[in-house]
Chains A and B, each alone.
Chain A
């Protein structure tokens, strides 16, 4: 680009090599990406919010049908997945800390651990989906519900179950891609105590996706277990 038009006042110092041309200094750049990530996460809240809204309305309208579905949800697998994701959040935080301490080995280790937890989650989710198919609980394609009086309305819950957990899984897959990118960058010694913003930003994203699951688990698996 037209670097010639900008008077170069000084050579960038080592810690400033990641400074993009339009920022005055690293602090401004980090501030901007932090605010940008939080704003993005707000859009994500509203994106999932549409589905939570639909869930709230139909659960209030058909409480019995929704409660009846809990018998068909695998709380063990769901609970395991909750634990797995909480662990992945811990390793993600430790990865950020390792980056802040300029520990490249620690960073890569914790990023890989986070990816392993994320992958375990997706594999378990895959088993759950397969079970749902076998039990004829996939709305539209393969749905036979034993309590016949709830067949129509319970189908809505399963529809929302697949929409919400499916969108969540898509976000997990994107997250795994981002973690891979971080690992490659970390291999190349990009991050150090002065520059770790991408690790922190992707960390925020990862925690957000975890938190969505923390809401999904009780709302989808534990409806009938209240008493």
Chain B
């Protein structure tokens, strides 16, 4: 409390920053400042995260009883909404639209993204998309699963597919515009001396993400549009009744949605690189390898979609090709994990909250990644396809990986974004709760899947009950774990101690400017003369 009294005296000479430069709703809703737009996004995706989370809690409650608690249709709508909201309205924009939007211009020494008005437009598109999807929810939801597979979404659809698909379509354009903005910004807006080999790895990974967003998302857009035309005209190209082909939908869908999986992990990997270097007080081991592994993942992401379709009308030889290509993705992913680990070797490692999340990321992503290899193998995929094994696998990557990285990044940069520190003890406690709750939720699902429990069913044989109850219990713990940061982060906005410009003693341009930054970030354009992560003479073997 002494600190509270201390800094309330200081507030009288509050310097101008991007938060207090203007007030009122207009100054936020019409802003073109990338930092304010990032904050708008942060609020929106957090809301959507809790909508998607609420759906998850509801269907986990249903799975407490083998025969289910809700009607099967309700269950279908709950898990569909969970998937649609979490994938398109949380994971895809999570880090790019918030942390990267805020920090890419600052990290490369620019005043803003290349197209500030486009950036604002992307937020509005996101909000419109979210509104349509929420409309579909309020009218009763959709029961297609997040994939909108035909014929669930066409011939046999009995729900608000069009509204939800239009929501996803619109949010897709928001994602395209974000990616486009990042690509142009990284190419054209770097400060003098900020060469490609000096870019922070967070920028590299978001650049790679931008490429995927730009190249993949339009294909999803046209697929959903064709689906809508097919439904309106009752004629089509995905409907087998008139000679159409539902497999074509799957090909087009996964041509976007597999690369989208990397939209949902690459930015997280970038965050982990930043945190690892800062809290190990060392340059990231093998900087070039980590940077180019992001690009390799982006390239490979476009040639592996067929591994979603081993069991749905793909020839054996196509399957073999996609299986081999899918295994290749493990190489750049492993390079990253090994290099982060090597970064800590002989580093001066400290255990601040962001680092705890980074540890969580590395362990959970490794499990998620390695179980992915089971699914990329043709024979084991036959047994595990469509079971809880897959559910557990991608939640280890998406939640254990991306959400951990997102939280780690938010904690890491919170002092810069808001100028305030969060309570350290509470944040460590929350990180621990989230880690435990996560594993309790999803590890039983690996076993359930291995034992053969199929996903997307509202009921299951009684012998699976114990593991399902464990998973639901874990989900409750996880839910509480996610609520704690909301509380203390909001608290810190008013009562948190002042952070200062560089609370972590980190390198990087973002730590050299005021916290929170001014509207144009830099008083004068910085000139970069050093490598990224120049943490002095931390002893260690690195290049």
Contact = CB atoms under 8 A, between A and B. Distances in A.
Contact of B235 (A4, A5, A155): A155
Interface in A5-34: 5-7, 20-24, 28, 31-32
B237 A32 contact: no
B219 A47 contact: yes
Contacts of B215: 42-43, 46
Interface residues of A, number: 44
B111 interface: yes
A32 B183 contact: no
Given A35-B187, A50-B223, A156 B243 contact: yes
Given A47-B222, A159-B236, A32 B114 contact: yes
Nearest to A166: B229
B116 interface: yes
A42 B214 contact: yes
A159 B226 CA distance: 10
Contacts, number: 130
A11 B184 CA distance: 27
Contacts of A77: none
Given A2-B22, A43-B217, A43-B218, A36 B115 contact: yes
Nearest to B191: A24
A24 to B, nearest CB: 7
B523 A22 contact: no
Interface stretch (A53-61, A86-94, A126-134): A53-61
B116 to A, nearest CB: 7
Nearest to A151: B242
Contacts of A58: 237
B46 interface: no
Contact of A2 (B21, B113, B118, B244): B21
A2 B111 contact: no
Contacts of A46: 215-216, 218-219, 222
A22 B520 contact: yes
Contacts of A147: none
Most chain B CB neighbours (cut-off 10 Å) among A39, A40, A51: A39
Contacts of A141: 233
Interface residues of B, number: 53
B523 A6 contact: yes
A163 B229 contact: yes
B29 to A, nearest CB: 14
Contacts of B216: 46
B22 A43 contact: no
**A-side interface mostly:** helix
Contacts of B112: 21-22
Nearest to B520: A6
Contact of B180 (A7, A43, A51, A53): A43
A4 B222 CA distance: 46
B248 interface: yes
Nearest to B524: A7
B174 to A, nearest CB: 13
B189 interface: yes
A154 to B, nearest CB: 10
Contact of B233 (A2, A7, A23, A139): A139
A159 B229 contact: yes
A140 B218 contact: no
Contact of A5 (B181, B187, B226, B519): B519
B542 interface: no
A42 B22 CA distance: 38
Most chain A CB neighbours (cut-off 10 Å) among B21, B222, B223: B222
Contacts of B16: 2, 4-5
Contacts of A62: 243
A44 interface: yes
Interface in B188-234: 188-189, 214-219, 221-223, 225-226, 229-230, 232-234
Contact of B222 (A22, A39, A48, A140): A48
A153 interface: yes
12 contacts: A1-B22, A5-B16, A21-B112, A28-B188, A36-B114, A36-B118, A49-B218, A140-B232, A143-B235, A159-B233, A159-B237, A163-B226
Closest CB pairs A-B (n = 9): A140-B233, A50-B222, A47-B218, A140-B235, A22-B111, A22-B112, A46-B218, A32-B188, A32-B114
Given A39-B184, A46-B215, A50-B226, 5 more contacts: A2-B22, A47-B222, A58-B237, A156-B244, A163-B226
Interface of A: 1-2, 4-7, 20-24, 28, 31-32, 35-36, 39-40, 42-44, 46-51, 53-54, 57-58, 62, 139-141, 143, 152-153, 155-156, 159-160, 163, 167
